[in-house]
A and B are shown apart, each in its own frame.
Chain A
């Protein structure tokens, strides 16, 4: 009875074959997951693709002709790309193969859809009265502001609100992280409850208060409201970042003769730049996409934001010109998507109470 002899007792095992079979099985199951995820992602992606194709190729109608052509090229390319990615093990050769595939796809796409592309739907960018002209055709008539008015209003709201959120929450986050003061636990608890509390329920009293203090239909009012609604979340994120800064570095700055405020500005702030950037992006995106509060608080046309501009374009023009509507839609959604895409890695670094925000 020897345990060491046990492996020898059975028939010879084909280890190589077993390993190859296991590898194959793993690739097949990964491939199956890919397929499932691609099919699952289609209902999300295809409508956005449709919006883009119509914006660049549509002639008044929301034709799906170019969309189907694009998909007929993109889908096989996506599947082929997944297969290549799984099949080629060498990293450099895989990258080369994928780049080649991308190049060929773009070429085929250009051949198949190129002739249908045009920029006529984007005329709203340089002709302010496009919507009015189209609407006039359908028989109703009030003036649309220029799209740039709406664009700069949105930019003002998003930008000013972003600056306020970053400044106020950085100051508060630092103080909460560093100082013991009477009522600190209560303050933190209250803040946490506010973070979970849905501010949307307060829209009626907020509207009335704005009306009473004369900020209704003022962009300033909207900026203040959105800032306040973002604050509990932002303060918590900033507090988390300040907590992660060892307080020895600040202490050493003060030992070297810096005042408390100097230490804050010159030593601690640079350490939490990533956190400030993250909440800045979040706040900007939030301000850019805001709809319910601007719809409720802003009325005058010169105060329209992009969301209101798109909404009224949809309401008034859609029956006449789908293509124009989709161009406005792409113009509005593009900054959000680009900003989000380029800064995703900062946004995923936030944590709040053990929860990723």
Chain B
């Protein structure tokens, strides 16, 4: 090889190799390991003694818990997405952009607080707020208003996890919708106002059509994150009472790490991995490919 060619190869190794190494080791290798693992009998001792299809059979026909878990997952994902991540995020974006800039930024910062604080702290706060004791903030407020006390954790656990996750999820939509609304040309709003459109009519006929793309992006992206994340549910209700708030992702984790059925957990995770890849490919089609794949700036090859 000529000297410049060697140099180019060296450059490529220097700049790209670290990233490639980490991505291969922590994304591609785990997917392969998971596929293989799903067809083994690995248990608590972390040893593989034979290859088997028992896990897949159990997954498809034999797991009595699974239908319930799937139903809880569907309610949780759809409920949180519809009420908070989309609707509430949109409302927050609309109101904070309609306010003076400083005030809008302040309220957006407030709603980002749950996202910025560590999950353990956030879960601790929810535990205290809904505590059925004298201390519980919710019950103190209800009593002050003359209403009977409630015990959300055992009476309406699904509502609890939807609200707790929704308070975090709302900020994602809020941020994306806010920057989308800001980038709508102002003259559209002026034209609508001059034509006599009311505030709500402007939202319905100018704002919403302009941010359609962002709405579909947030829907897919957040549906995927809700489907695979279990951190807050794990910390707040731990899937309980009984299996009432055990969503699929948490079920996968518990089967592997609590029951020690690593192989069955891997088989269960395979379902999530497949959904993840499908949704990621769908998102990728939605993204602005031209901007991302623009030609490199330098012609060197």
Contacts and interface: CB of A to CB of B under 8 A. Distances in A.
Do the two chains belong together in a single complex?
A: yes
Contacts of A261: 11
Interface stretch (B54-62, B65-73, B153-161, B222-230): B222-230
Contact of B266 (A40, A50, A204, A296): A204
Which 10 A-B pairs rank lowest in CB-CB distance, beginning with the nearest?
Answer: A228-B26, A175-B15, A289-B118, A172-B19, A205-B30, A205-B33, A196-B280, A198-B228, A202-B30, A47-B125
B37 A208 contact: yes
Contacts of A260: 11
Interface string A225-264: 1011101100110000011000100000000000011000
A194 B280 CA distance: 7
Given A193-B284, A289-B119, A200 B249 contact: yes
B277 interface: yes
Contacts of A329: 121, 124
A151 to B, nearest CB: 13
B42 to A, nearest CB: 8
B23 A232 contact: yes
B300 A180 contact: yes
Nearest to B119: A291
Interface stretch (B106-114, B184-192, B200-208): B106-114
B16 A336 contact: no
B137 A47 contact: yes
Contact of B114 (A33, A44, A61): A44
Contacts of A120: none
B273 interface: yes
A310 B120 contact: yes
A322 interface: yes
Given A171-B16, A180-B301, A325-B124, 5 more contacts: A199-B27, A201-B228, A201-B273, A209-B29, A289-B117
Contact of B15 (A172, A196, A285, A340): A172
30 contacts: A44-B167, A46-B137, A50-B137, A62-B128, A168-B19, A169-B19, A171-B18, A171-B19, A175-B16, A177-B296, A193-B284, A201-B228, A202-B31, A206-B30, A208-B33, A209-B25, A211-B46, A224-B22, A228-B22, A228-B25, A232-B23, A285-B116, A289-B118, A307-B119, A314-B120, A314-B124, A329-B124, A336-B117, A344-B109, A355-B287
Contacts of A199: 26-27
Interface string A182-216: 00110011011111111111111111110100000
B27 A202 contact: yes
Nearest to B26: A228
Interface string B217-241: 1000100110111110011000000
A289 B33 CA distance: 28
A332 B273 CA distance: 33
A346 interface: no
Contacts of A353: 287-288, 291-292
Contacts of B292: 188, 192, 236, 353
A191 B283 CA distance: 12
B265 interface: yes
Given A204-B252, A235-B19, A310-B121, A175 B12 contact: yes
B99 A34 contact: yes
Given A180-B299, A224-B22, A355-B176, A33 B120 contact: no
A207 B98 CA distance: 47
Nearest to B277: A197
A32 to B, nearest CB: 10
A6 interface: no
A340 B23 contact: no
B288 A171 contact: no
Nearest to A82: B103
A128 B117 CA distance: 25
B16 A172 contact: yes
A196 B221 contact: yes
A44 B231 contact: no
A120 B287 CA distance: 53
B101 interface: no
B262 interface: yes
Contacts of B300: 178-180
Nearest to A353: B287
Contacts of A177: 296-297
B78 interface: no
B100 interface: yes
A193 B297 CA distance: 23
A64 B46 contact: no
Contacts of A174: 15
Contacts of A64: 135, 137, 140
Given A48-B125, A204-B37, A337-B117, A196 B283 contact: yes
A356 interface: yes
B276 A311 contact: no
B1 interface: no
B107 A178 contact: no
Contact of A194 (B27, B175, B229, B288): B27
Contact of B297 (A243, A289, A292): A243
B298 interface: yes
Contacts of A193: 277, 280-281, 284
A113 interface: no
Contact of B179 (A181, A285, A356): A356
